[in-house]
Structure 1
Amino acid sequence: MGFRLSKIYTRTGDQGETGLGDGRRVPKDHPRVEAIGEVDTLNSQLGLLLAGLEEQSGKHPHLKDVIEVLTPCQHRLFDLGGELAMPVYKALNAAEVNRLEAAIDRWNEEVGALENFILPGGSALIAQAHVCRSAARSAERRCQHLNAVEPLEGVALAYINRLSDLLFVAARVIAKRQGVAEILWQAAAKPH
């Protein structure tokens, strides 16, 4: 593969516009650019989660399958960014959505039914999985906003929705495998 970037700065965005893969120039706050940015943020947060999982996998070898399920997601998020930057480009497919659903079903069976709301904490890994989940929801909202302005084709919306579900269940399975009790939400006391 040849070089993708020979120069990191181009000065072409200094006036508040950026170029898309299809040649269009749009404002940097265009819904498409906002969606790309949120997907990029999610990918970065997922990278942090994966680094933490790798560090802990020696102590908790049963986290390895979490790494195996989540690692391809970084690549698919890059594909999603490509789809957003180049609307005619389609990289995601239903098989990837099915892969996420299979992992959700497998992990959900392991952790059991959710009996109460849980808070994002208990360990750094659990909290980071929840950061990724909330970043996925933010990316999904941005993609939905873009879809209302410029309809998206393909499975992008289903993928980002399913990924946020996967990350929620991943947080729960990480807690179980680390032997960390989930932090259950406690409603505020009602005034007397």
Structure 2
Amino acid sequence: MVVLNRIYTRTGDDGTTALGSGERRPKYDLRIATYGTVDETNAAIGVVRLHLAEARELDGMLGLIQNDLFDLGADLAVPEREGKAERLRMLATQVERLERDIDRLNEKLAPLTSFILPGGTPAAAHLHVARTICRRAERVMVELAAKPDEPVSAAAIHYINRLSDFLFVAARVMNDNGAGDVLWVPGQNR
């Protein structure tokens, strides 16, 4: 359980922050940027949920995702090291649940005939913003994983990759199951 008695500690005043392991890193460190961008994704999803009064099923799915994103942040905040005690890690079952939810939402949608411009309903537009933040989180996470001494679990990478797919499909659902999608027309304004 997490207990926060004080919100400020002053320990970050020197430009560093602590990983879950207690190790101090500069606030611009790539690992910090990675879980910070996951946190941005989570906040963007929180904004989406303000627009889902009529979409209870999707709201429920997004609530589970927000909790998963805290799990993902915890996973990233404590790098796996040999001989160290195991901490909270993303699991393949979380990725599988996300895939089932994508399939459930996608079965209502007609196949795409064009790329989609971000927009449509307010919920769909916010889902597209969350999707682009999620894609940035994935890029930073993959960059981190490419560093020799910065382990990132495969399940974490799979989850963030699948999440952007989920957010894309969810945006289409919120655009009247795709009927309200704003389609890209190549060269339209030439």
TM over 0.5: yes
Q: What is the deviation of 1:154?
A: 4.3
Q: Look up the equivalent residue of 2:78 and give its one-letter code.
A: M
Q: Hey, what's the Cα distance between the residues in 2 that align with 1:104 and 1:180?
A: 18
Which residue in 2 is equivalent to 1:66?
58
Q: Hey, what's the Cα distance between the residues in 2 that align with 1:84 and 1:47?
A: 21
Q: Look up the equivalent residue of 1:159 and give its one-letter code.
A: Y
TM-score, normalising length: structure 2: 0.89
Deviations 1:11-63 (A, max 9, x none): 11112111111111111111100001101100000011112213xx1xxxxx2
1:156 aligns with 2:156: yes
Q: Hey, what's the Cα distance between the residues in 2 that align with 1:105 and 1:189?
A: 32
Deviations 1:166-186 (A, max 9, x none): 000000011125x86211112
What 5-or-longer segments of structure 1 have no aligned partner?
58-62
Written as runs of structure 1 = structure 2, the 5 A alignment for 1:15-94 is 15-54=14-53, 57=54, 63-88=55-80, 89-94=87-92
Which residue in 2 is equivalent to 1:106?
104
Deviations 1:88-134 (A, max 9, x none): 42332111111111111122221121110111111111100101111
Q: Look up the equivalent residue of 1:75 and give its one-letter code.
A: N
RMSD: 1.7
TM-score, normalising length: structure 1: 0.88
Query: Segments of 4+ in structure 1 off by > 4 A?
Result: none
Q: Hey, what's the Cα distance between the residues in 2 that align with 1:190 and 1:51?
A: 34
The answer (yes or no) to whether the contact 1:36–1:85 under 8 Å persists in 2 is yes
What 5-or-longer segments of structure 2 have no aligned partner?
81-86
Q: What is the deviation of 1:145?
A: 1.2
- Taking structure 1 as reference, are residues 174 and 189 closer, same or farther at Cα in structure 2, changes over 3 Å only? closer
Q: Hey, what's the Cα distance between the residues in 2 that align with 1:173 and 1:48?
A: 17
Q: Look up the equivalent residue of 1:155 and give its one-letter code.
A: A
Secondary structure at 1:188 match in 2: coil
Q: Look up the equivalent residue of 1:132 and give its one-letter code.
A: A
Secondary structure at 2:57 match in 1: helix
Which residue in 2 is equivalent to 1:13?
12
The answer (yes or no) to whether the contact 2:90–2:153 under 8 Å persists in 1 is no
